[in-house]
Protein backbone atom coordinates (compact mmCIF):
# COMPACT_ATOMS: atom_id res chain seq x y z
CA UNK A 1 0.00 0.00 0.00
CA UNK A 2 1.24 3.47 -0.85
CA UNK A 3 0.47 6.48 1.32
CA UNK A 4 0.94 9.95 -0.10
CA UNK A 5 0.38 13.42 1.35
CA UNK A 6 0.22 16.41 -1.00
CA UNK A 7 0.76 19.78 0.73
CA UNK A 8 2.33 21.83 -2.06
CA UNK A 9 0.67 24.93 -3.55
CA UNK A 10 1.27 28.63 -4.04
CA UNK A 11 -1.10 30.77 -1.99
CA UNK A 12 -0.24 34.48 -2.08
CA UNK A 13 -3.36 36.44 -3.07
CA UNK A 14 -1.55 39.38 -4.65
CA UNK A 15 0.74 37.18 -6.70
CA UNK A 16 -2.17 34.99 -7.85
CA UNK A 17 -3.97 38.05 -9.19
CA UNK A 18 -0.85 39.20 -11.06
CA UNK A 19 0.17 35.74 -12.32
CA UNK A 20 -2.97 33.58 -12.69
CA UNK A 21 -1.51 31.12 -15.22
CA UNK A 22 1.49 30.50 -12.97
CA UNK A 23 -0.90 29.67 -10.12
CA UNK A 24 -3.02 27.27 -12.15
CA UNK A 25 0.11 25.56 -13.47
CA UNK A 26 1.86 25.36 -10.09
CA UNK A 27 -1.19 24.28 -8.09
CA UNK A 28 -2.74 21.82 -10.56
CA UNK A 29 -0.09 20.36 -12.89
CA UNK A 30 1.93 18.65 -10.11
CA UNK A 31 -1.29 17.18 -8.70
CA UNK A 32 -2.13 15.70 -12.09
CA UNK A 33 1.40 14.30 -12.49
CA UNK A 34 1.28 12.73 -9.02
CA UNK A 35 -2.12 11.15 -9.68
CA UNK A 36 -0.94 9.79 -13.03
CA UNK A 37 1.95 8.06 -11.27
CA UNK A 38 -0.27 6.69 -8.51
CA UNK A 39 -3.22 5.48 -10.62
CA UNK A 40 -1.57 2.16 -11.55
CA UNK A 41 -0.71 1.26 -7.95
CA UNK A 42 -2.80 -1.39 -6.19
CA UNK A 43 -4.02 0.74 -3.28
CA UNK A 44 -3.13 4.34 -2.58
CA UNK A 45 -4.13 6.38 0.45
CA UNK A 46 -3.95 10.00 -0.65
CA UNK A 47 -4.29 13.07 1.59
CA UNK A 48 -4.83 16.38 -0.17
CA UNK A 49 -4.23 19.66 1.61
CA UNK A 50 -7.16 21.78 0.51
CA UNK A 51 -8.48 24.95 2.15
CA UNK A 52 -11.66 26.51 3.48
CA UNK A 53 -11.82 28.78 0.43
CA UNK A 54 -13.63 25.95 -1.38
CA UNK A 55 -16.73 27.06 0.55
CA UNK A 56 -16.64 30.47 -1.16
CA UNK A 57 -18.76 33.02 0.66
CA UNK A 58 -20.66 30.52 2.78
CA UNK A 59 -24.04 31.11 4.34
CA UNK A 60 -24.24 30.75 7.24
CA UNK A 61 -20.72 31.65 8.28
CA UNK A 62 -20.72 28.80 10.79
CA UNK A 63 -19.38 26.22 8.35
CA UNK A 64 -19.73 22.51 9.02
CA UNK A 65 -18.46 19.55 7.01
CA UNK A 66 -21.91 19.35 5.41
CA UNK A 67 -21.66 22.89 3.95
CA UNK A 68 -21.95 23.06 0.19
CA UNK A 69 -19.15 24.16 -2.10
CA UNK A 70 -19.68 27.66 -3.51
CA UNK A 71 -17.79 29.45 -6.30
CA UNK A 72 -14.38 30.48 -4.99
CA UNK A 73 -13.79 34.18 -4.50
CA UNK A 74 -10.02 33.97 -5.01
CA UNK A 75 -7.92 32.13 -7.58
CA UNK A 76 -6.18 30.06 -4.90
CA UNK A 77 -9.56 28.74 -3.75
CA UNK A 78 -10.48 27.96 -7.32
CA UNK A 79 -7.31 25.87 -7.74
CA UNK A 80 -8.25 23.96 -4.57
CA UNK A 81 -11.79 23.38 -5.88
CA UNK A 82 -10.46 22.09 -9.20
CA UNK A 83 -7.90 19.93 -7.41
CA UNK A 84 -10.61 18.37 -5.24
CA UNK A 85 -12.74 17.63 -8.33
CA UNK A 86 -9.80 15.99 -10.11
CA UNK A 87 -9.11 13.81 -7.07
CA UNK A 88 -12.78 12.78 -6.73
CA UNK A 89 -12.95 11.79 -10.39
CA UNK A 90 -9.72 9.78 -10.23
CA UNK A 91 -10.90 8.04 -7.04
CA UNK A 92 -14.05 6.87 -8.85
CA UNK A 93 -12.07 5.04 -11.53
CA UNK A 94 -9.03 3.80 -9.58
CA UNK A 95 -7.96 2.32 -6.25
CA UNK A 96 -7.27 5.81 -4.84
CA UNK A 97 -8.57 6.36 -1.31
CA UNK A 98 -8.61 10.13 -0.92
CA UNK A 99 -9.06 12.44 2.05
CA UNK A 100 -9.52 16.17 1.42
CA UNK A 101 -8.44 18.29 4.39
CA UNK A 102 -9.96 21.77 4.38
CA UNK A 103 -7.93 23.96 6.72
CA UNK A 104 -9.06 27.24 8.21
CA UNK A 105 -6.18 29.75 8.51
CA UNK A 106 -3.21 27.45 9.09
CA UNK A 107 -0.47 29.54 10.65
CA UNK A 108 2.80 29.29 12.45
CA UNK A 109 6.11 27.60 12.11
CA UNK A 110 8.28 25.07 13.88
CA UNK A 111 10.25 26.68 16.74
CA UNK A 112 13.44 26.04 14.76
CA UNK A 113 12.01 28.10 11.87
CA UNK A 114 13.23 25.32 9.56
CA UNK A 115 9.66 24.70 8.33
CA UNK A 116 6.51 26.80 8.18
CA UNK A 117 5.88 30.50 7.93
CA UNK A 118 8.63 33.06 8.34
CA UNK A 119 7.17 36.25 6.87
CA UNK A 120 9.97 38.52 5.76
CA UNK A 121 9.00 41.74 4.03
CA UNK A 122 5.31 42.22 3.24
CA UNK A 123 3.27 39.42 4.88
CA UNK A 124 1.06 37.29 2.62
CA UNK A 125 -1.25 36.17 5.45
CA UNK A 126 -3.49 37.98 7.93
CA UNK A 127 -1.90 36.71 11.16
CA UNK A 128 1.30 38.81 10.93
CA UNK A 129 -0.91 41.89 10.61
CA UNK A 130 -2.96 40.88 13.65
CA UNK A 131 0.16 40.17 15.70
> Is this model's pTM higher than 0.85 or not?
no
Judge contact between 72 and 31, C-beta under 8 A: no
What's the pLDDT score for residue 108? 64
Give pLDDT, residue 98: 93
Of 23, 33, 55, 76, which is the active-site residue? 76
The pLDDT assigned to 82 comes to 95
CA-wise closest residue to 55 among 124, 127, 104, 97: 104
pLDDT per position in the chain (131 positions), as tens? Answer: 677 777 778 878 788 889 999 999 999 999 999 999 887 788 789 888 888 778 777 676 667 777 777 788 888 889 999 999 999 999 999 889 999 988 776 566 667 767 666 667 776 666 666 65
Mark whether 76 is an active-site residue: yes
Q: Distance between CA 78 and CA 97 in Å, rounded? A: 22
Domains of the chain by start residue, with CATH: 2-130 (3.40.50.720)
End-to-end C-alpha distance for the chain, whole angstroms: 43
Q: Where are the alpha helices (DSSP H) in the chain?
A: 13-18, 20-38, 75-92, 127-130
Q: How far is CA 77 from CA 16, 40, 60, 72, 80, in A?
A: 11, 29, 18, 5, 5
Amino acid sequence: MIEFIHFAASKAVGESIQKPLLYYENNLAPLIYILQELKEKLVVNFIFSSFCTVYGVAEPMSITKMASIQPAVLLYGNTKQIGEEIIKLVAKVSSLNAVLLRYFNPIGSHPSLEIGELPLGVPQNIIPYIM
